[in-house]
């Protein structure tokens, strides 16, 4: 039987990746489509992609596929042909990462999951087959001119804070699961209006659009390929960007500037600022917005308390961190974690 999993050590795989002479292209894509046998589909996919030396992380579920992968440049066309040969994926939009060294992945992992985007939807009648209509950048701009249009941002608060579409409404919850029913409630009397939903890459808002339709909304749209694709199209076609500020992304930059507007404020002094940073105290690592002046004043820390710890000898810092929940030290997207601390800071 064919081996459908990797069996080589992590260290060896990383070493091989760095010894590779061919360049890799980093690609992301997703598609909602009915997958009758996810495990079987997963195994076939593994065989085909492994043969093309694809690395990365892919989730397969009854509702579709979500992938972040890299492929050797000279196999890109073959990969595309293979994906397009799967009927529901024919013509699929492949998002190619720019400014990427192709070294993010060194192994291929394909996992079968309950959903490609966890949604908490219990209703068995809900289906991704009835989705909102796609809008491109041009159509988005046109729809935005209509007073009858409502724009809903399906991302987290900290993303909305530094950049969003003009007039966009925020759904104030920490998780997508909670946002779905909340969006329905908030829009209850707007069932006849145009509703456009958007997110960073499109995968969440596409599901949200289906959920709105499922709940009786009539004119639901979603931004194809999300903000990333909008920014790209707006640039290519010289359109005025109706997205203002920065698009938050999970790489070292923590955000890509779309327009020059700075719409957020420093969480410490309240001056205009939209640079996210993680508190330099490793025992905190809070994600927050800090201006250059405060970065200097607080040594990149979120508070004087963290600054004091940060300036202690490393051994003492480690001692202080003992017994602290390790979850505190990892990058945490939850607004719940952000808010109480920020509230404390504001009171100081």
What are the catalytic residues?
199
Q: Which is nearer to Zn ion, 152 or 306 (CB)?
A: 306
Whichever of 200 and 290 has its CB closer to Zn ion, that residue is: 290
Tell me which residue of 239, 207, 223 sits closest to 138, measured CA to CA: 239
Give counts: helices (H), strands (E), the chain: 12, 15
Residue 268 makes contact with Zn ion by CB under 5 A: yes
Q: Which of 69, 213, 302, 338 binds Zn ion (CB under 5 A)?
A: 302
Q: For Zn ion, which is the closer residue by CB, 86 or 295?
A: 295
Interface residue with Zn ion, options 8, 96, 182, 269 (CB under 5 A): 269
Report the C-alpha gap between 109 and 4 in whole angstroms: 10
- C-alpha 115/C-alpha 324 separation (Å) is 33
Q: From the list 49, 279, 287, 309, which residue makes contact with Zn ion (rule: CB under 5 A)?
A: 279
Interface pick for Zn ion out of 27, 35, 108, 266 (rule CB under 5 A)? 266
Phi, psi at 20, each rounded to 5°: -60, 140
d(Cα 42, Cα 35) in Å, to the nearest integer?
10
Q: Does 108 bind Zn ion (CB under 5 A)?
A: no
Residue 140 in contact with Zn ion, rule: CB under 5 A: no
Least distance CB 125 / Zn ion (angstroms)? 46
Number of CB atoms found within 10 A of residue 109's CB:
14
Nearer to Zn ion, 234 or 266 (CB): 266
In angstroms, the CA 203 to CA 206 distance is 5
The nearest distance, CB 44 to Zn ion, in angstroms, is 47
Question: Tokens for 150?
Answer: 């409502």
- As measured in angstroms, the least distance from the Cβ of 138 to Zn ion is 38
Among 264, 306, 309, 338, binds Zn ion (CB under 5 A): 306
CB count in 10 Å sphere of residue 256: 16
* Residues shown for the chain: 348
Of 200 and 275, nearer to Zn ion (C-beta) is 275
Instruction: Write the CA distances from 62 to 113, 129, 282, 348, integer angstroms.
Output: 8, 12, 40, 50
Of 180-188, 203-211, 250-258, 269-277, which part binds Zn ion (CB under 5 A)? 269-277
Number of residues located near Zn ion, criterion CB under 5 A: 11
Q: Terminal CA-to-CA distance of the chain, rounded, Å?
A: 64
Span 153-192, contacts to Zn ion by CB under 5 A: none
Site of interaction with Zn ion (CB under 5 A): 266, 268-269, 279, 281, 284, 286, 291, 294, 302, 306
């Amino acid at each position: 039987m064919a081996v459908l999993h990797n069996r080589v050590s992590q260290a060896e795989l990383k070493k091989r990746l760095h010894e590779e002479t061919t360049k890799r292209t980093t690609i992301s894509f997703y598609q909602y489509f009915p997958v009758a046998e996810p495990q079987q589909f997963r195994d076939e996919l593994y065989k085909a992609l492994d043969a093309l030396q694809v690395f990365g992380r892919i989730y397969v579920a009854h509702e579709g596929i979500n992938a972040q992968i890299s492929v050797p440049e000279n196999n890109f066309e073959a990969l595309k042909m293979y994906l397009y040969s799967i009927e529901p994926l024919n013509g699929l939009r492949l998002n190619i990462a720019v400014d990427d060294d192709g070294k993010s992945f060194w192994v291929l992992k394909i996992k079968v999951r309950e959903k490609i985007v966890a949604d908490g939807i219990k209703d068995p009648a809900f289906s991704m087959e009835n989705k909102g209509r796609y809008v491109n950048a041009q159509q988005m701009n046109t729809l935005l001119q209509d007073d009858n249009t409502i724009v809903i941002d399906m991302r987290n608060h900290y993303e909305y804070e530094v950049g969003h579409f003009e007039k966009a409404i925020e759904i104030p919850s920490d998780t997508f699961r909670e946002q779905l029913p909340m969006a329905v409630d908030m829009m209850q009397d707007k069932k006849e209006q145009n509703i456009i939903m958007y997110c960073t890459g499109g995968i969440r808002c596409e599901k949200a659009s289906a959920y709105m339709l499922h709940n009786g909304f009539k004119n639901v749209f979603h931004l194809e390929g999300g903000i990333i694709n909008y920014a790209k199209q707006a640039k290519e076609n010289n359109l005025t960007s109706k997205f203002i500020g920065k698009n938050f992304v999970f790489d070292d930059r923590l955000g890509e500037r779309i327009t020059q507007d700075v719409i957020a404020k420093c969480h410490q002094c309240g001056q205009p600022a939209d640079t996210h940073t993680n508190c330099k105290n490793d025992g905190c690592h809070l994600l927050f917005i800090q201006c250059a002046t405060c970065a200097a004043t607080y040594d990149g820390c979120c508070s004087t308390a963290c600054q004091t710890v940060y300036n202690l000898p490393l051994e003492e810092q480690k001692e202080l961190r003992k017994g602290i929940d390790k979850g505190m030290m990892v990058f945490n997207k939850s607004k719940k974690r952000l808010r109480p601390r920020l509230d404390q800071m504001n009171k100081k």
